[in-house]
Amino acid sequence: MTEVWGPIFLDYLNGERLPHYVERDDGRREASDTAAHYFEAPRLAAERELLGHIEGPVLDLGAGAGSYALYLQSLGLDVTAADSSPVAVEVCRRRGCRHVSVMDLRDLHLEPTSFGSVIIMGNTLGAHQTPESLPGLLRSLRVAVTPGGQLLVSTADPLDTEDPVHLQYHRRNRDRGLPPGLSRIRMSYKDIIEEWMYLWMPTGEELAEAVAGTGWSMTQERSEGPFRVRLFQATGV
């Protein structure tokens, strides 16, 4: 499987400052000049506030460069930085994450009640997900946390935009019976081009529908710009 994020993180860690790109299936292509953003955490005041409620042990799922894991680790929490990219996991280790694991959110095998909290930051909750698949992921995470355990997610609200190209994409999706924030994208970096994948940025209403019946109840929500940071607590399934 072609993967781009590991090389992006590793090169930045080694001092290379090169752009990477995200292409959407309507032809829109956006560039990020460097990977510096992924080496900072928390990135929002809203995230910092709700991260203060997290209890360990913590699973940082889709940890990327490990920045959130390192932040929680600095607060004295026991954290496992997990990512589907072995190269990204090595970056986490080199940066000082004490516990790391290769783990794909599309195929989780977690021990029951093995974590006090799970965090999924930076739109990663919707990576490779659709309305049909997300409830299954949420149920897997519920089983993995202790009674009363927590789930913290940070996602962008797709409706918080005035960009005419995004609005046109939303209309196209609705005409096809799809959520406005469901897109097909692929990443590219240097000569690496990833396979097409789904990225779903659910609206608040859509996320509430996905969460229903999975054993989670939202306890707090914060908004900052287009981002919504939500804290859930484990309840009965």
Per-residue pLDDT in tens (0 to 9) along the chain, 237 residues: 578 999 999 999 999 999 999 999 999 999 999 999 999 999 999 999 999 999 999 999 999 999 999 999 999 999 999 999 999 999 999 999 999 999 998 888 899 999 999 999 999 999 999 999 999 999 999 999 999 999 999 999 999 999 999 999 999 999 999 999 999 999 999 999 999 999 999 999 999 999 999 999 999 999 999 999 999 999 965
Domains of the chain listed by start with CATH number? 5-234 (3.40.50.150)
Measured CA to CA, the distance from residue 10 to residue 62 in angstroms comes to: 16
DSSP-derived letter for residue 79 is E
Q: pTM above the 0.85 mark? A: yes
Tokens 């986490």 correspond to what residue?
92
Instruction: Return the exposure string of 177-207: e unless at least 16 CB atoms fall within 10 Å of the residue's CB, then b.
Output: eebbbbbebbbbbeeeebeeeebbbbbeebb
Helices (H) and strands (E) in the chain, counts: 7, 12
| Alpha carbon of residue 7 to chain centroid | 18
Sign of CA dihedral 26, 27, 28, 34: positive
| Alpha carbon of residue 42 to chain centroid | 13
